[in-house]
Structures are given as C-alpha cells and as structure tokens.
Structure 1
C-alpha cells in the first residue's frame, strides 16, 4: 500500500481542485461579471472545498 506524504496526493483533493478551476471559469462570464461580490463568494466557497481539515 502506498504511503501518502501530503494531502495534495489525495485523489479527492485533486478532484476538488478541478472543481474549483471549473467554478472560476464559470464565474468569469455572464451574469457573474456584473456581481463581483457574489462571484467572489462563490469562488471562496469552491476554494474552501480544498482546504484540509485541521
């Protein structure tokens, strides 16, 4: 069994990172462009998915 040295090696973290990138792309167009605060809030929420639990 392989040993995991950091949380970045976890598949679930890598998937969350891809989701975060996709959300970023979506919030850079359409109605999100008109509402900076909402766009920022959505991006922050998506980014928090990747945060390791302490």
Structure 2
C-alpha cells in the first residue's frame, strides 16, 4: 500500500485513536474541576497528530524521522 497522504500513516491513525481516548477520559466529572489541565492535555494530544502531519508534508525524510 502506497502512502499518499498523512492519514494513510499507521502512526497518525494510532494518534487519532489516542486523541479520541483522551477526549473520552477527560470528559468525566473529575476534569471539570480543572479546566486548564483538561484543555492542555486535549490540545497536546491533538498536537501529536499535527506534528506527524506537518512532518509528512515537509517531504524531508531526515526531519520526519525525528
């Protein structure tokens, strides 16, 4: 299977599952008391997907491997 877009990457797909799990976990009442932490952990989990996509789009294997 040829990878043509970042969504084809298994690591990006796994990161998306991770993000969904983070959002599910942080939707419980325990996190409502600390909105700052909830917001931060959600943003950081999305950042993982964004970094993978950005690395893929740069088309530079040396940088992407980092």
TM-score greater than 0.5 by the shorter chain:
yes
Q: 1:30: how far off? A: 3.3
Q: Which runs of 5+ in 1 are unaligned?
A: none
Q: Which moved more, 1:28-37 or 1:38-47?
A: 28-37
Higher helix share: 2
TM-score (norm 1): 0.87
Please give the alpha-carbon distance, in whole angstroms, between the structure 2 residues aligned to 1:3 and 1:21.
26
TM-score (norm 2): 0.73
Task: Identify the residue that residue 8 of structure 1 maps to in structure 2.
Answer: 7
Q: 1:3: how far off? A: 1.9
Q: Which runs of 5+ in 2 are unaligned?
A: 59-66
Q: Deviations over 1:2-27 (max 9, x none)?
A: 32110001011000000000000000
Query: For this pair of structures, how many residues does the alignment match?
Result: 53
Moved over 4 A (4+): none
RMSD of Structure 2 on Structure 1 (CA): 1.1
